[in-house]
Structure 1
């Protein structure tokens, strides 16, 4: 009997347990139908802890999120500006490309024009060269005839008549300066016509100065000083076989001019003339050049009032040069040098 009671109690307890289990199951289904979930207190507590931690984390991340949003906004603005700048650069590139194409076209046109002008310039240069050669040839012929005509003393007054001789002297001065500037470093045998042209011009002046009426005209001419300076420039050039004859004519012209008192006064007032003459005596080896140089120096020191010129001669004459000239093989050179030396010594011996 007790066994039966015990078994019945166990069955009752089992039924009660199943009943409670069934009630829980029914409750869960009820909550699930309502959209609820059954959570244990421990899980709920864990969930609450995690939610609190996440809230704290969100509070910490909030400033960073704001910064990121601001940075994102700035990036969008920069991107928009970059796109706008890129578009502008693209437009500018297109403009520059168009301009470049236009300039290339202009450059091609300029190149064609330049080539055409170079061809024309070459043709003009050739024509000018031919004309220059023709003019030089014609000038050489005409001036050579004039040079020969001026050798006749009775022709000098005819040459001086009118105003053409003044223009002629100006032409001589400018032509000689141009000739010296052009062939200052290179005077080859290929310039014979130019040399003959200039020789004829200077030779004509020399012949004019050889006559009394011609010396008088040259001494009073407004071009005389310019001509003297041009001859000085010529004589200051280093010795050269190509211009030795030209130098000879120039020094003869100056000597002829010194025979006239007005011409001598002009020469005496020319600065640097005496030092140039003493330099020529040392530099030139031509006896003719040395003789005419000494004759010009003699004319300059023959006047007692030209004391400064005598002192310049004395200072410019070295002992070696004086010894060489005093023992020169040419009698005329020795005699003229002796007269110059006596004039200079006379000045040195005066109290």
Structure 2
């Protein structure tokens, strides 16, 4: 392949394949990205789309030869992607049961192809697959329109529902290009347009994932818990008011349950403000320790006891967290708070007598 334009297209396709696969792997192994069913469905959708685009590149560059079996796999894969899209939309709008019908087309096609002894028609005869996919996407859009309007505010605010319109619009544009290619099979522009739109969709999703990553948000966050996003700050205040942080065994699921949230929702909310759950808990415990250290009633209380009363399981954890948050040890912090805050020295008795 010596055509520079063709080489650029292949590079774009391969970049999209790799990015789509990486996002899919992140979804598979990172529970913080959302509910298991929704997360795994989207991961399967992205992985399968990446695989089909990769197969297209392999066949288009002549690195592999087209076979009837490979064509049948690609047709079934395309229908499975549409089924996964319906499943993902249904999960996102709160439908917990009855989603198996989304996979009826791919099941029927696979069974018919096996009975027939292979795929139907020549390699270029894929009109029946494209029309079926377009119909399934139309069903996904209808499902989203019907259910999202009646969804409660908490469900409508989910991140899945915020990006679904863009996702469905991208899939629709892909079908438009596919149908246009069927109408004008001799057009080389339309031939490349379909995989190019698919590659653009994968790269867009990858870009969305990177821009929304908690790592980047943590890198650019402005400050500590007091400067967190309003929603995160509200949750942190509720944790403080409930005194839940005093439990040495407090975990993310337990805290989320006390707040009426799912564990992934609490994690996403805090991480979105650049404040991991464990960091928030330590900040609240240090804040409580500071309150106790300045309380006259606790003036004779030992440091070990202060740490225990603040929710720390051990002296080492107490000192490490306190040092990290304040830059000094609890002992030094208490001594500093006990000093006069005016900056003036206390006159000695001798000095007072001389002045008298």
Task: Pick the TM interval, shorter chain.
Answer: under 0.3
Structure ranking higher in helix proportion = 1
Higher relative contact order (CA 8 A, sep 6+): 2
Rg comparison, structure with higher value: 1
TM-score, normalised to structure 1, is 0.23
TM-score, normalised to structure 2, is 0.23
